[in-house]
Amino acid sequence: MALTLNKTGITTGNTVEAYHVTQSIDAFTGTVAYDISLSGSFSVTGSVANGTADNVANNFSHAQGQTNVASGYTSHAEGSNNSAIGVASHVEGAQNYALGNASHAEGQFVTSSGGYSHAEGYGSISSGSHSHAEGSYTIAKGDYSHAEGATTLASGLASHAEGYLTTASGNYSHAEGHLSRATGLYSHAEGSGSLASGNASLALGTKSTASGNFSLAGGFQSVASGLYSLSFGLTNTATGQSSVAFGYNAHTSANNSFAFGKDVSSSADYSIAAGDNSKTLGTISFAFGNNVHSSGSNIGQFVVGRNNTQGDTTSLFIVGSGETTGARRDAFRVRISGSIVLPTTQSAAPTWTGTDGEIVPATVGGVYRLYMWMGGAWRSSSFA
């Protein structure tokens, strides 16, 4: 048990014995264990090391605990096996290093090597100036960067990575979630496996990629690679400049094109495809419906319906009425000249009850006839 300092025998007029002095020397040099209580202020000039004898304190620093080193000017190390090397640095916990000036490391196996940086948790590293790494095996490498979570990396200037296995390598970028990467300047990636590599791009969802500058990709495995492009949904691609793809397996490969629906594609500039399996092949054309194709270029061709005939480049408006892709046909067409085409799909006179104004072209017995429902009955006229 430790001794206590006492003044027994020290009175006025008595002889001062050697032990009266040596007890204080033994106490303050650590030769003999003493319990010492202080009342009032306590001022120390120089460094302080307290704890185990292998603590090292230099340059007005403070080391406390076990096997700590505070060698930086006015630094502080506490805990076990820590080192505060940087000027005015602070380290606490176990087996940590505060190497940067005015840096702070806490936890276990963490290192703050950047000036004014902060690392905390387990195995984290803040190497960028003014950076912050927290969590497990996170790295804040870029100046003013922030990494948090587990195994994240923020290497870009003023970048931010959070979650698990995310990387923000672009300057001013942000990555969050799982396996997301923001590599473009000012880019943002979030979700799972998303990649934002274009400058000022945004990737959301699962395995989405925004590689075009100022592009946006979201959903599942959608790609926006065109400049200013937008791709959202399931396995969509927008490769044309300023193009938009929405839905499922929608594709836009032309500039300023738009595709939305299922298995639709816009492959001509300024075209729009919508519905199911619709395609635009002509510039400034529109295809809306089921398996309809627009082929005319620079005429504003508009195709609706289903399974229209293909390759028509002279009609402004087409209504497809085919039953299947193997039996394509058109119910109505308006040509550039202004003429109207009514295909003869009948080989017999109509027998159903019509609607006033309904017209049916037919070839009956080799004679071309035009039937119209009027006044409750079919009226007809033949053409030689």
- Domain ranges (residues) in the chain: 270-343, 347-384
Q: Model confidence at 29, in pLDDT bands (50, 70, 90)?
A: confident
Q: Model confidence at 55, in pLDDT bands (50, 70, 90)?
A: confident
pLDDT of residue 16: 77
In one letter, which amino acid is 245?
A
Check pLDDT > 80 for residue 53: no
Which carries the bigger pLDDT value, residue 188 or residue 4? 188
pLDDT of residue 258: 98
Mean pLDDT of the region 251-277: 97
Using CB atoms within 10 A of its CB, is residue 297 exposed (0-12), middle (13-18) or buried (19+)?
middle
Check pLDDT > 90 for residue 58: no
pLDDT of residue 384: 66
Mean pLDDT of the region 127-155: 98
pLDDT of residue 43: 64
Mean pLDDT of the region 68-81: 95
Lowest mean pLDDT among 86-95, 148-157, 280-289, 346-355: 346-355
Average pLDDT, the chain: 93
| CA gap 197, 233 in Å, rounded | 19
Express each pLDDT in 293-309 by its tens digit. Answer: 999 888 899 999 999 99
Q: Model confidence at 140, in pLDDT bands (50, 70, 90)?
A: very high
Q: Model confidence at 7, in pLDDT bands (50, 70, 90)?
A: confident
Beta bridge partners of 135: 121, 149
Beta bridge partners of 168: 154, 182
Q: Percent of the chain scored above 90 by pLDDT?
A: 74
pLDDT of residue 86: 96
Check pLDDT > 70 for residue 42: no
0.85 cut: is pTM over it?
no
Which carries the bigger pLDDT value, residue 219 or residue 380? 219
pLDDT of residue 22: 83
DSSP 39-88: -S-----S-EEEESTT-EE-SS-EEEEES-EE-STT-EEEEES-EE-STT
pLDDT of residue 144: 98
Residues 6+ apart with CB under 8 A from 34: 2, 3, 4, 5, 23, 26, 27
Reported as type and span, the H/E element at residue 20 is: helix 18-29
| CA gap 321, 70 in Å, rounded | 85
Mean pLDDT of the region 123-146: 98
pLDDT of residue 307: 96
Mean pLDDT of the region 114-136: 98
Express each pLDDT in 315-343 by its tens digit. Answer: 999 999 999 999 999 999 999 989 988 87
In one letter, which amino acid is 357?
G
| CA gap 117, 137 in Å, rounded | 16
| CA gap 263, 223 in Å, rounded | 15
Which carries the bigger pLDDT value, residue 341 or residue 236? 236
Q: Which two tokens stand for residue 202?
A: 């945004």
| Neighbour count for residue 347 (Cβ, 10 Å) | 9
Rg (CA), the chain: 41
**What value, to the nearest 5°, has the Cα angle with vertex 132 and ends 128 and 137?**
95
DSSP 188-227: EEEEES-EE-STT-EEEEES-EE-STT-EEEEES-EE-ST
Using CB atoms within 10 A of its CB, is residue 359 exposed (0-12), middle (13-18) or buried (19+)?
exposed
